Structure 1
Amino acid sequence: MIKVLIVDDSPSLRAILTKVLELAQDIQVVGAAEDPYEAREMIKKLNPDVLTLDIEMPRMNGLSFLKNLMRLRPMPVIMLSTLTQQGSPATLEALELGAIDFIAKPTSNVAAQLHAYAETLHQKIRIARQANLYALRTEKDVQQAPVSQHTQFKTSAVLALGASTGGTEALREVLVRLPQHCPPVVIAQHIPPVFSTSFAQRMDRICDVSVKEAEDWDVLMPGEVFIAPGDRHLKVVQKGGRLLCQLCQSEKVNRHRPSVDVLFDSLLPWAKQVSAGLLTGMGSDGAAALLRLREAGAKTLAQDEATSVVWGMPRAAVEMKAAEKVVPLSKVTMELLSAVKRP
């Protein structure tokens, strides 16, 4: 049984979340706190496995509480977020502080979609319970020699990455190590609309490379990173001798849009110039397409278990022998680039 503590200042939301969570046979709500101070005492008394945490609360906001919690008593946390342009930066900051995942706050009409919402929340709770809390903490301390600005890469090379749970912070560790002149990078991260925009802007501020949310007909250029928008598949196509981004809203693949499989499969015509990696995440999205890329001549890798928050997608890739190499997060950037260096 997974013991969950709800932390939210709204009595109605606490009631809705309790109702939703207790629909699961393997989840038990052991308590509900209206603010972080009450939560702190309940954590000591009830020893929950997973916390659901609101960001905006009286007396102490969720981010301040999360920062203290991760320093003093690390535990899996799911953030309750407003899926808006205003709410996304705070949620991304929560992931940076150590939260495992986030979900939209239930709305007043949640009853109409209760089954779908409950299924999503239950799955996130189960994943959080099994998550590796210390994966990113240790990797952020690993120092790597920067890639020389004199390193030359193959002219037509493309880097491709896929990630899900734990992916925003894993991608951050990969992208900040990229040199300004690196090959173009295309990314499929499972993330909702609006959040992908905020994530791309956040990465662009801290990286040497240019990072943006992909748009139709963006040209793949060295030193540029393109992140699939939430709820859109990202494909790479060729037009006029150039590789371009193309977005579509076709059916979900592996229950996801964007899907890593869709992105990786679109690169098959140019597989021999591709270096692709599958990072932390639940499920198996991207693993089958990574294998197809490898069989077509691409260089492939998967993040190792020790540094993955959730070793699902990379594990699937390893088990089907889709990854030539299995490496810790701190070495992903170097391995991706080494595969496309000029001799």
Structure 2
Amino acid sequence: MKKVNVLIVDDSAFMRRILTDILNKDYRIEVVGTARNGKDCLQKMEMLKPDVITLDVEMPIMDGLEALDHIMKKNPKPVVMVSSLTKEGAESTVKAMSLGAVDFIQKPSGSISLDMETVDSHIIKKVLVASDANVVTCEQPLLHKKVPLPDDYQLKGNLVAIGTSTGGPRALQQVLTSLPGDLPAPIAVVQHMPKGFTKSLADRLDKLCSIQVKEAEHLEKLINGTAYIAPGGYHMHVRQKQNELVIELDESDPVHGHRPSVNRLFSSLSQLKGISTTSVVMTGMGADGAEGLFELKQRAGGTHSIAEAETSCVVYGMPKAIVKSGLADEVRELRDISRSIIESLQIKRG
């Protein structure tokens, strides 16, 4: 079996050493080289031709974002960012996702984390997933073209729910920036991300979108034209209270390793009365969302479900589970999902 060749890029010699030791522990991976900064990375990737690059965000001479931009424009490869949990680090990581990075590794305790080995299985898993990721789609620029609301349709009350994971920040940017500001529905979003990063994701998307985008808060009411992103570390549910839809957050046990969980969100929607729902499952590893969508399909009125097509997914795991289970009403490429969402909110006049 061919090993996954990895290039590690970090300005800290200690971090280069510990990441090398962690990755080389797995028989499926071989670290073929290290680099001290983005400029060094660009030179070495031409010689070493790695399958995956781990790229530190904050480095001298050329930082991770600048290096990532060069990589994605000239020679796209799966890149996993390595980030510290600071406000600046989270913002840079979210931007890196929009530039085409497949995923990110969170340093558990700052820029030089002496305890990286506590997350070694997590690091190995992310690198292996990245090695199979579809990065060809990342060569294409994101389309920020708005899909207008047609004049010949009457809009009905609705709720949109979106679940996504690996590759999700970029996919969300594509979909949410294409929706009109007067969208006649709220949007509940579960993106697999740890605490601290979902707020940066919501803030970045809010600046780019016509709709409002925010990190969800416990007991806040849902309003049309607003997307609510579940905070990292919390499950998000939508409940009915006195003819209003309200968000509830909790820190109960992860579901199949996920908190927030798409299954939990979709399951909560199955309890709503008189609300039409549109459910969307996009790029991501695993099968989160399939069990919850099955529950949602069983309720009176069901749901209109949209799965992202394999050709545009960074990782075709979550949508594949929906399609193989026969739960998808539509399978759409990423660029067409916003239009499908709008069409699902409409009924023809007469």
Q: TM-score range by the shorter chain?
A: over 0.9
Q: Which residue of 2 aligns with 1:333?
A: 338
Query: RMSD of aligned C-alpha atoms?
Result: 1.9
Q: Which residue of 1 aligns with 2:325?
A: 320
- Give the one of 188, 197, 200 matched to 2:199: 197
Q: Which residue of 1 aligns with 2:166?
A: 165
**1:12 Cα offset (Å):** 0.6
Q: C-alpha separation between the residues in 2 aligned to 1:125 and 1:192?
A: 17
Q: Secondary structure of 2:76's match?
A: coil
Q: Which residue of 1 aligns with 2:13?
A: 11
- Does the CA contact (< 8 Å) of 2:83 and 2:104 recur in 1? yes
Q: C-alpha separation between the residues in 2 aligned to 1:131 and 1:197?
A: 25
Q: Which residue of 2 aligns with 1:23?
A: 25
- Give the one of 211, 214, 219 matched to 1:212: 214
**1:150 Cα offset (Å):** 7.8
Q: Deviations over 1:186-239 (max 9, x none)?
A: 010001111111111111111111111111111111111111000000000111
Could you tell me which runs of 5 or more consecutive residues in structure 1 were left unpaired when the two chains were aligned: none
Q: Which structure 2 residues correspond to residues 115-264 of structure 1 after superposition, within 5 A?
A: 116-138=118-140, 140-141=142-143, 145-148=147-150, 152-155=154-157, 157-182=158-183, 183-264=185-266
| Residues 1:161 and 1:139: Cα distance change in structure 2 (over 3 Å) | farther
Q: Secondary structure of 2:272's match?
A: helix
- Give the one of 293, 301, 306 matched to 1:301: 306
- Does the CA contact (< 8 Å) of 2:222 and 2:245 recur in 1? yes
Relative to the length of structure 1, the TM-score reads 0.94
Q: Which residue of 1 aligns with 2:277?
A: 274
- Does the CA contact (< 8 Å) of 1:291 and 1:317 recur in 2? no
- Give the one of 21, 32, 35 matched to 1:33: 35
State the AA in 2 paired with 1:293: L
State the AA in 1 paired with 2:341: L
**1:137 Cα offset (Å):** 3.7
Q: C-alpha separation between the residues in 1 aligned to 2:143 and 2:210?
A: 19
Relative to the length of structure 2, the TM-score reads 0.92
**1:19 Cα offset (Å):** 1.1
State the AA in 1 paired with 2:204: R
Equivalences, count: 340
Greater alpha carbon shift after TM alignment, 136-145 vs 195-204:
136-145
| Residues 1:225 and 1:106: Cα distance change in structure 2 (over 3 Å) | closer
Moved over 6 A (4+): none
Q: Secondary structure of 1:146's match?
A: coil
Could you tell me which runs of 5 or more consecutive residues in structure 2 were left unpaired when the two chains were aligned: none
- Does the CA contact (< 8 Å) of 1:294 and 1:323 recur in 2? no
- Does the CA contact (< 8 Å) of 1:162 and 1:277 recur in 2? yes
- Does the CA contact (< 8 Å) of 2:239 and 2:272 recur in 1? no
Q: Which residue of 1 aligns with 2:291?
A: 288
| Residues 1:142 and 1:222: Cα distance change in structure 2 (over 3 Å) | closer
| Residues 1:93 and 1:142: Cα distance change in structure 2 (over 3 Å) | closer
Q: Deviations over 1:272-291 (max 9, x none)?
A: 61010100000000012122
Q: C-alpha separation between the residues in 2 aligned to 1:12 and 1:202?
A: 32
Q: C-alpha separation between the residues in 2 aligned to 1:21 and 1:282?
A: 20
Q: C-alpha separation between the residues in 1 aligned to 2:329 and 2:214?
A: 29
Q: Deviations over 1:11-67 (max 9, x none)?
A: 111111111111111011111111223222321221110001112112111111111
Q: Deviations over 1:165-202 (max 9, x none)?
A: 00011011111121222201101000111111111111
Q: C-alpha separation between the residues in 2 aligned to 1:243 and 1:44?
A: 53
Q: Deviations over 1:124-149 (max 9, x none)?
A: 10111111102244473595743347
Q: C-alpha separation between the residues in 2 aligned to 1:150 and 1:52?
A: 50
Q: C-alpha separation between the residues in 1 aligned to 2:138 and 2:11?
A: 30
Q: Deviations over 1:224-262 (max 9, x none)?
A: 111100000000011112110000000001201000000
- Does the CA contact (< 8 Å) of 1:209 and 1:224 recur in 2? yes
- Does the CA contact (< 8 Å) of 1:231 and 1:257 recur in 2? yes
Q: C-alpha separation between the residues in 2 aligned to 1:193 and 1:149?
A: 41
Q: Secondary structure of 1:86's match?
A: helix
